[in-house]
Amino acid sequence: MIESLPSDVDVPGDVLLAGYFVALPERLHGAGLPRAERLTSASACVIDQFPADGCWFATAREALAACRPLPLPAEARLYALLVPSEDVGGLVADILAARTDEPVLLARLGGQGSGEAAPRVPEGGHELGWEVLGYDGGLLHTWLCNDLYEDGRLDLGVETDERGLLPDRQTARRVAAWANGRGDTKPVTWFPGTLIEWDILAWSRFGPV
């Protein structure tokens, strides 16, 4: 469980911090995809993440320090991915089965069941919404890059917001269960995750980098 979540971040208590990343929301208007003016995702398949050669970090300070030398666009933001505790086992199993080097996600999620205290989440962020993700081949994939959106709308009646995110945990849980029951997606364990966003231009909010 995440310790000392700030009061201005309204997220469930039984979620674990997977890691931090810096990314650039993008406009998405494609066939079979939602119309998103500021598409936001933990998947590098659909938006740019920084640095490109290693985008996951254990703390907000490490993420900001790694990106400080880069010419980041003004619209880039800092994010944290939170995963319900009941879904962590499937994600960790997929990372281990892929035999890929994912030190941050494994350290953050794989060690939390052994009494390791979760770091404090910096204040000043706000919860954006939920998405459905799955790990395969060294990457987190989103259900949107697996051509599931239109079928999800028809089968489940779900809709996404202007960021391409689902409105709540229950909806994301339904989509994940539905996707896991199909045989035409990537061989992953789909799970719900929620995102918190910070404006990275406010460096002082996180202390010295």
Structure tokens at 58: 């254990």
Cβ 132 vs Cβ 143: under 8 Å: yes
**Cα 65 to Cα 68: distance, rounded to the nearest angstrom:** 5
Say what the pLDDT of residue 7 is. 38
Instruction: Give φ, ψ of 199 to 5 degrees.
Output: -80, 110
What is the average per-residue pLDDT within 92-119? Answer: 71
Instruction: Give φ, ψ of 83 to 5 degrees.
Output: -125, 130
pTM: 0.87
Quick: pLDDT tens for 167-181. Answer: 999 999 999 999 999
**114 within some domain:** yes
Say what the pLDDT of residue 125 is. 86
| Count: domains in the chain | 1
Q: What confidence tier does 49 reach under pLDDT thresholds 50, 70, 90?
A: very high
**104 within some domain:** yes
Cβ 40 vs Cβ 23: under 8 Å: yes
**206 within some domain:** no
- Helix, strand, or coil here: 204? helix
Q: Which of 43, 59, 48, 24 is nearest to 148 (CA)?
A: 43
Q: What confidence tier does 115 reach under pLDDT thresholds 50, 70, 90?
A: very low
Work out the percent of the chain whose per-residue pLDDT is above 90: 57
Q: What confidence tier does 34 reach under pLDDT thresholds 50, 70, 90?
A: confident
Cβ 129 vs Cβ 195: under 8 Å: yes
Alpha carbon separation from 49 to 4, 14, 113, 157 (Å, rounded): 27, 27, 28, 30
What is the average per-residue pLDDT within 5-27? Answer: 75
**Cα 135 to Cα 127: distance, rounded to the nearest angstrom:** 22
Work out the percent of the chain whose per-residue pLDDT is above 70: 83
Mean pLDDT, the chain, rounded, equals 84
Amino acid present at 29: H
User: Could you list the residue range(s) of the whole structural domain that residue 87 is in?
Assistant: 15-200
Q: Which helix (H) or strand (E) holds 94?
A: helix 85-98
**155 within some domain:** yes
Quick: pLDDT tens for 180-209. Answer: 999 888 889 999 999 999 987 654 455 544
**132 within some domain:** yes
**51 within some domain:** yes
Amino acid present at 192: P
Helices 149-156, 169-180: axis angle to 10 degrees equals 110
Say what the pLDDT of residue 120 is. 59
Cβ 35 vs Cβ 59: under 8 Å: no
Give the count of beta carbons closer than 10 Å to the beta carbon of residue 134: 24
**25 within some domain:** yes
What sign results for the dihedral spanned by CA atoms 200, 202, 203, 207? negative
**7 within some domain:** no
